[in-house]
Amino acid sequence: MGKGRLEAFSDGVLAIIITIMVLEMQAPKGVELGTLRPLAPVFMSYVLSFLCVGIYWSNHHHLLYLTHRVTGGIMWANLHLLFWLSLVPFVTRWMGESQFAPGPTMLYGVILLLAGVAYWLLEHAILLQEGAGSTLAAAVGSDWKGKASLLIYCVAIPLALLRPWIAGLLYGFGLLSWLVPDRRIERNVYLGRRAPEAQHAPQEGECTTENA
């Protein structure tokens, strides 16, 4: 099954999620720059979520890059991930509008955690398909970054009820730990040079675009 449409649909959904969040930032009623100040938590919440969806898009991009065949199971695992991510605008708005109140901040973490679990499920559905000896399996490795970020959410969620701002900072850290994983896949990809194609129609004169 072609992965083209899975990527296109996911790109569409992620692009919309990342963009519609800005609709939630209502223009202030006043015309003075000072009337922006109450929007500060809304804006911070927006930045956090933009970063979050951006990272998911980037990781999703890398993950599917090394995927050769899409099965029904992968399709549903992908839709499951998109479902939790589609709730990000809702929790972003609530957390921002409530000025990082305990309840909304906790819910935000729960959604991030569930999205993280959904990503992990998608990754494993694809790994099952690709096999243990695949480029993807090597690239993902022990996936300690993914596990670490899930652990951070598990700590931050109950903490949100007591110290929501610290929880918010931990969410940010949890996201930053995802910023690097791409490297793993990227490194492996460059070792195997344009992996998916390279395995099917390789060499032909060792033409690389890197040595120029």
Which residues from 190-209 bind a second copy, rule CB under 8 A?
Answer: 194, 205-209
Pattern 142-181, binding to a second copy, x per CB under 8 A?
----------------------------------------
Core vs surface per residue 131-155: b (16+ CB within 10 A) or e: eeebbbebbbeeeebbeebbebbee
Q: Which stretch binds a second copy (CB under 8 A): 66-74, 114-122, 137-145, 148-156?
A: 66-74
Which of 25, 117, 138, 151 touches a second copy by CB under 8 A?
A: 25
Question: Which two tokens mark 12?
Answer: 């569409």
C-beta of 87 vs 117, nearer to a second copy: 87
DSSP state, residue 98: T
Q: How far is the CB of 151 from a second copy (least distance, A)?
A: 23
Cα(188)–Cα(138) distance, rounded to whole angstroms?
Answer: 7
**Rg for the chain, CA atoms, rounded:** 19
Shorter beta-carbon distance to a second copy: residue 11 or 124: 11
Taking Cα atoms as reference points, which of 60, 44, 51, 49 lies closest to residue 10? Answer: 60
Identify the residue among 32, 37, 132, 201 touching a second copy (CB under 8 A).
32
